[in-house]
Amino acid sequence: MGFTRREFLGACIGGAILAASGLFLWRKFLRSTWQAQTFIAKVPGYQADIATVICEGLAHLGISPQEIKGKRILLKPNLVETNPASIHINTHPLVVRGAVEAFLKFGASRVMVAEGPGHCRDTLRVLEESGLGEVLWEDRIPFIDLNYQDAYSMPNVGKFSSLTSLTFPAILRQVDLIVSLAKLKTHHWAGITLSMKNLFGFMPGLYYGWPKNVLHYAGIEEAILDITATLRPHLAIVDGIVGMEGDGPIMGDPKPAGVLVMGRNLPAVDATCARVMKINPYRVGYLKRAEFVLGTINEADIVQVGEPIAAVATEFTLLNYIPSQKSLRMGFWGKFI
Amino acid sequence: MIDPLVSDSINILRKRSLAEGGFANTDNGDYRTDATAWAILALSACGLDPEIISRARSRLATGQLPDGRVSISPYHPAVYWPTPLAILAWSQSPSNQDSLARAVDFLLDHSGMCLPKQAKSPDASDSTLKGWPWVAGTYSWIDPTALGIIALKVTGHSNHPRIAEATRLLLNRQLPHGGWNYGNIIVFNKELRPMPENTGMALDALKSLTARSNLELSLDYLKIVVRNLRTPIALSWGILGLGAWGERPAAAATWLSECWGRQARFGGYDTASLSLFILACRLSGGIESLYRLAP
């Protein structure tokens, strides 16, 4: 006694329907678990009232003054190198000032700025030459040099790389909220550098070198994911008022995108930023791997508040001779692959 | 006679010296290898505090690993870039010669990772040359290689093949228009930018190892940039690097004084920065000139 051909075909079709339903329900479950919210604001220039924009962003994201009141906030801008008149390399000092003011308005007990530049041994020189130092001293904002602090180690939660532990500066144990205050840029190794790549600056040069070559050897994508998973930053604010296109993160060209992008979930923020740059987040290696593990990058699962992406998206130049930038462009099928 | 700025700096260092030997990098901080080594050099340059120096040297020695390396902390044995600093700290100490010898042997036996030349590499540097890395198992970079060269020169190894190769590495990583940064030159056909702290360190290391004509563009770059530097690491290395080639700026003392005054903005300098500052105040040449000072 055996199956008839009809019975066999019926069983196959039934199995296929069951499998597809299971996959659909599983993805629906994952999506509902990983939904995130991001906020986009149009900001015409650095002389705008950035503090008010950030306050609005916090409110739109459901972050109330009650949540911030009494908290110790650490803002980590992107300070790489300096070059006269190159405002597109680093998080602009007025964005840092605006973020400090916003959190103080929301009742933070203390707001600090911290960075561990990956190329420059002399952090104070970078502060001076970038103009950020002037803002910090005028506003009496404390600055922490993350490269030279005493540090602590903890197990690598992400386990994307072979690094068994990660070493962080001691200050991170003395704050309540960690904010990645990044810059909207292309990157010649990672494709793009946004709120997650910005976290490299938390890794002290004393233990990782200048540049932080340990992380490159571990795999840049893997290191980005591991640091995000282990550190668990609470918020991202990305300075895209003037970003960088082409050969980022240092030698590229200024690209006025006129936006600030904010969100609690860093993969969602980075995916939104990628779409603003007209880059397909699914083609960015670290973002694709972050999906359903660290957050969502699917546009359908990201509740977009503020400006819609379509109103602000602008094509950032990608260079064909830079392998990490090839094939990043958003195409017709960009939402699906 | 000790300059008042140096005297004030030394008093700060003394407050950071630990009862069990060694130095913290900040007030009330914990022991740090790099801070300890730098503080030893700074106090030695002033001819002061032999007992503090002796205890600090002993503390460095107790942290030395069996293979001779000196790491940033006992929990990070792979992070061995402080080894040349320890060599410099022990160099004038008869009672630390065993530690010194083991550290020198370690440096001679270890190097940064080398990679075979790739015709289509976006990075123009010669990846086959051996220098020294920040962390074991990673690439060679300017600062650890420069410190390695200085340490081996001071201990009488100027003619060693490792110094010859490290010299070639530094020259290979010199930017075409002058200066050095952390260690990249041209990436994706674009020349990167120099930085004064790395340039100063590389120039200091290359003293007596190459013809001055190979370094003129870098010397020119640093002579211009140093005029505007007032932060301790960049200014100090700028002065030391130029000093190594007989180009110590006439206004160095004024700039160092202004750098000292910047603490009103930056907050107090940490031990490593302060020690470098002291060395820039005290030495007419580069780091090696410390070992030619009258005892």
Q: Which domains does chain B have, with CATH numbers?
A: 4-287 (1.50.10.20)
What pLDDT score was predicted for residue A27? 62
Q: Is the pLDDT of residue B149 over 70?
A: yes
The pLDDT value given to residue A337: 44
What is the mean predicted confidence (pLDDT) over B153-175? Answer: 97
With residues binned 3-state (H G I as helix, E B as strand, rest as coil), the percentages for chain B, rounded to 5, are: 55, 5, 40
Is B193 within 8 Å of A83 when comparing Cβ atoms? yes
Count chain A–chain B contacts defined by CB atoms under 8 A.
102
Q: How confident is the model at residue B293 (pLDDT cuts 50, 70, 90)?
A: low
pLDDT digits over A104-124, tens only?
999 999 999 999 999 999 999
A18 Cβ neighbours under 8 A, 6+ residues apart: none
Q: Using a CB-CB distance cutoff of 8 angstroms, which residues of chain A are in contact with residue B144?
A: 209
The pLDDT of residue B120 is 78
Contacting residues of A for B199, CB less than 8 Å apart: none
Contact A324, A185 (CB under 8 A): no
Identify the band that residue A335 occupies on the pLDDT scale cut at 50, 70 and 90.
Answer: very low
Task: Give B294→chain A minimum CA distance, Å.
Answer: 31
Instruction: Reply yes or no on whether the pLDDT at A334 is more than 60.
Output: no
CA distance to partner chain A, nearest, from residue B295 (Å)? 32
Q: Taking CB atoms and an 8 Å limit, are B188 and A122 in contact across chains?
A: no
pLDDT classification of A3: cutoffs 50, 70, 90? confident
Q: What is the pLDDT of chain B when averaged over all its residues? A: 96
Whole-angstrom distance, CA of residue A185 vs CA of residue A253: 10
Among A31-40, A44-53, A119-128, B164-173, the minimum mean pLDDT is found in: A31-40
Out of A109-118, A236-245, B55-64, B117-126, pick the least confident. Answer: B117-126
Q: Taking CB atoms and an 8 Å limit, are A148 and B265 in contact across chains?
A: no
Over residues A183-227, the pLDDT tens digits come to 999 999 999 999 999 999 999 999 999 999 999 999 999 999 999
Q: Is A214 near chain B, with CB under 8 Å?
A: yes
- Mean pLDDT over B103-118 rounds to 94
For residue A336, the model assigns a pLDDT of: 46
In chain B, pLDDT over 70 holds for what percent of residues? 98
Cβ distance of B198 and A121 shorter than 8 Å? yes
Residue B15 has pLDDT above 90, yes or no: yes
Q: Which value, in Å, is the radius of gyration of the alpha carbons in chain A?
A: 21
Q: Is pLDDT of A301 > 80?
A: yes
Q: Is A206 on the interface with B (CB under 8 A)?
A: yes
Which residues in chain A are closer than 8 Å to B183, comparing Cβ atoms? 211
Contact status, residue B111 vs residue B139, Cβ threshold 8 Å: no
Question: How many C-alpha atoms does A90 have within 13 Å on its Cβ side?
Answer: 28
* Residue B119's pLDDT band (cuts 50, 70, 90): confident
Mutate to test the interface with A, among B76, B123, B263, B273 (most CBs of A within 10 A): B76
Of the candidates B139, B188, B190, the beta carbon closest to that of A213 is on B139
ipTM rounded to 2 decimals? 0.96
Q: Would the pLDDT of B294 be above 80?
A: no
A255 has pLDDT over 80: yes
Selected from 3.40.50.11440, 3.30.310.40, 3.20.20.70, 3.30.70.1070, the CATH number assigned to the domain covering A36-335 reads: 3.40.50.11440
Find the range with the poorest average confidence among A25-29, A208-212, B198-202: A25-29
CA distance A68 to A76: 17
pLDDT averaged over every residue in chain A = 93
| Inter-chain touch A128–B230, beta carbons under 8 Å | yes
